[in-house]
Amino acid sequence: MSRPDPLPHLHAAAVAIREAATAEIGFAALNTALQAALGHRLFTVMAHDWDTGWNRRVYSSRPNGWPVGGGKPSAERDFVAQVVREGRPWTGSGDVAMQWAYPDHVALAALGLGSGLNLPVRAGGKTLGVLNLLHAEGWYGAADVAAGLVFAGLAVPLLLTA
């Protein structure tokens, strides 16, 4: 699938984040830029707390179904090991992949969300959180990871202050 040039959207997000008065405003700018560059039907940002092992939602493009403040333990699963512990992005599509990655895969499937792109946000060799983008089955592929990781880098100061 052809995507637009991400550079103008990265630039817009970087400027907005630099000027944002709050992390929420910065995440909203990131949401807008990611929507334009890669597309998504659901975008959430999870902050990881290494002391408690919990992931807490700090931003959601659909707060009615996935509210800010919601959290879940980062149970030892292969997905968590890959994305949170090892800091490696994940992209997948279809029922099997979505079930492997998301405990709430049934709710996601009900909304037609069959493809995911999960981008670890890292600083100092440690994962601070994860950007989660979801769309229709087949939407994301390996080519989206490179641009997505640059967007994830823009989220570092936001997660440090969220």
Per-residue model confidence as pLDDT tens digits over 17-66: 999 999 999 999 999 999 999 999 999 999 999 888 888 999 999 999 89
Looking at the predicted structure, is the pLDDT value of residue 14 above 90?
Answer: yes
Q: In this structure, what is the dihedral angle of CA atoms 118, 107, 162, 4, given to the nearest 10 degrees?
A: 40
75-85 pLDDT, tens digit each? 667 888 899 99
In this prediction, residues 132-147 reach a mean pLDDT of: 96
Do residues 56 and 68 touch, judged by C-beta distance below 8 A?
Answer: no
Mean pLDDT, the chain, integer: 94
What is this structure's pTM?
Answer: 0.95
The residue-averaged pLDDT of 122-136 equals 97
pLDDT of amino acid 92: 96
∠ CA(25), CA(29), CA(30), 5° rounding? 115
- Structure confidence at residue 72 as a pLDDT band (50, 70, 90): confident
CATH topology of domain 7-161: Beta-Lactamase (3.30.450)
